[in-house]
Chain A
Amino acid sequence: DAEITQSPRHKITETGRQVTLACHQTWNHNNMFWYRQDLGHGLRLIHYSYGVHDTNKGEVSDGYSVSRSNTEDLPLTLESAASSQTSVYFCASSENTLANNEQFFGPGTRLTVL
């Protein structure tokens, strides 16, 4: 069965370190998204991609970057981790750009920045 996976599931790092969170989907979806989820804020969009070599900034993109070298993967990099980036990160994918297409979410990565 097709799926979307994230790794690691839990990560503890120190302030200033570079961290990369992996996202891999086997749906062959063009669209991929990264969100962070914090208490009181719901899911907030960090970056998204509509296809290979396409990346776009979301509402909370500062301090994060992504690259899309193939259809299946959209790694999220924290250039220099900050305590404010402690959060749960979710990757999602969807089939195309139509707004009525369902987003399929990964299981999440809990990141703690000390």
Chain B
Amino acid sequence: KNQVEQSPQSLIILEGKNCTLQCNYTVSPFSNLRWYKQDTGRGPVSLTIMTFSENTKSNGRYTATLDADTKQSSLHITASQLSDSASYICVVSAPTGNQFYFGTGTSLTVIP
């Protein structure tokens, strides 16, 4: 069964600290993996996209990694800011049409 699992479910960190969010998936075949950020009361917004041939991709203080062999991805946030408080959702897509598989998200809270 195609699944996407994220950990931890929630995380609280101090402002300025780094953190890493995990995403494990069983989707096969695999086309790409996206990380979305969802602020409270808003729709998700794409942070990064990675295809199976990419290992690392950065977007400012956000760095995503992908190991297609072990079907694992991580999102590393450097020097966290209060505005990083949000839910982070991992989405894996298959190569055909509308096959998007969503994780349940990690809720990140950054405290001063």
Which residues of A does B touch, CB under 8 Å?
Answer: 4, 31, 33, 40-45, 48, 50, 56, 90, 92, 97, 99-100, 102-103, 105-108
Q: Is the interface of B mostly helix, strand, loop or mixed?
A: loop
Within the assembled complex, what's the spacing in Å between the Cα atoms of A106 and B46?
13
Residues of A within 8 A of B105 (CB): 42
- Determine if A100 and B43 form an interchain contact, defined as CB atoms under 8 angstroms apart: no
Hey, what's the 0/1 contact readout for B42-53 against A, CB within 8 Å counting as 1? 111110010100
Given A92-B43, A99-B32, also A42-B94 (CB < 8 A): no
- Determine if B98 and A56 form an interchain contact, defined as CB atoms under 8 angstroms apart: yes
Residues of B within 8 A of A43 (CB): 44, 89, 102
Q: Is the interface of A mostly helix, strand, loop or mixed?
A: strand
Residues of A within 8 A of B94 (CB): 99
Which residues of B does A touch, CB under 8 Å?
Answer: 31-32, 34, 41-46, 49, 51, 89, 93-100, 102-105
- Determine if A103 and B100 form an interchain contact, defined as CB atoms under 8 angstroms apart: yes
Within the assembled complex, what's the spacing in Å between the Cα atoms of A100 and B30?
11
Closest chain B residue to A43 by CB distance? B102
Residues of A within 8 A of B104 (CB): 40-42
